[in-house]
Structure 1
Amino acid sequence: MVRVIVRAAVAADLVAIQKIYAREVHQGAASFETSPPGMDLTRQRWQQVRAAGLPYLVAEVDGEIAGFAYALPYRPRPAYRYTVEHSLYVAPGWQRQGVGARLFEVLIDQCEAAGARQMIGIIGDSANVASIRAHEKAGFERAGTLRNVGWKFDRWLDTVIMQRALGRGSSAAADGEA
């Protein structure tokens, strides 16, 4: 395992974040986007996460951005306010070296600290066994599969929905709600 430093993303990290994500858009099925966002949209998304009071993190190894992760509100309706959906991407040269696990650890801790009770991961492509296993190692359980909902690379793709309770989960009323 390499020494992974996880910290809040800053504006200077956005070029590396955009590069990691653009590669996944072009070559992978984890994202259902078909053309990568440019720097303006990457910056806008980063600012949106920060404005929501949720974590946007980078993993750094030897001064290089090796991956990133963030969480956003799961849905805009008020009853979903304690549920977040996360995204996590690791650069190809750093996969299977503990970068994703460390990002998950810090992301989960910070989402719990922000008051989230459930975390959702939506994995593009049910054949993405590595991502499914990484989610399971981080405490997620498979909540379901949506079949053939994405069209990319001239084929239909499923999405796998993974879910993990945070903090007290649903074992108690939300703070200030009961």
Structure 2
Amino acid sequence: SRDAILDGLRAQPGLNHIRMLRLDEQPFNVRRRPWLMSFELGDRLLKTPLPRPLPRDLPMAYKGSWWHVITREFCEWLVDAPETGRYLDFFRHVQAPDELIFQNLIMASPYKGRLADDYRHLVAWSGTGGSPDVFTMAQWHELESSRQWFVRKVDETVDREVLERLAARIGAAVPVMETVAA
């Protein structure tokens, strides 16, 4: 619930909840992403084998999830820091830059010592495919007993009851799926 999230933030004031994984411990196909050029072509990503050197002033040691809970202070630093522009310029042609930028920016910031131990998202990976698993009622006990603030991934077309129970748990209306006219 909102109150549980606020209580958790008050219990750890000033901490940034960002998933931090060492890039050098990742599989080769993930580890090499910053060194290979990628381009958007229409609505597709064109991955190339073209290598490029990393700028010396841009440490590139971490990756993680795009989903974060970050402090206002870190956000304010991001807006004004010259490092932000340099990382944005470099990541413009990198596959999955959203999984690299915040992790490396926080480690280049004065807030690198203000990381929480947990990024507060419940995500299940089966190891197949490039996307997390969708939670179903088969995992309801895990969802219900989790101390995490957010869950990814829930899909009403796969198991609407999960969405209904989560909404009831926090006292919210169940989101209605919009249909697109043909």
Q: TM-score, normalised by structure 2?
A: 0.24
TM-score, L = length of structure 1: 0.24
Who wins on radius of gyration, i.e. which is larger?
2
Q: Which has the higher contact order (CA 8 A, sep 6+)?
A: 2
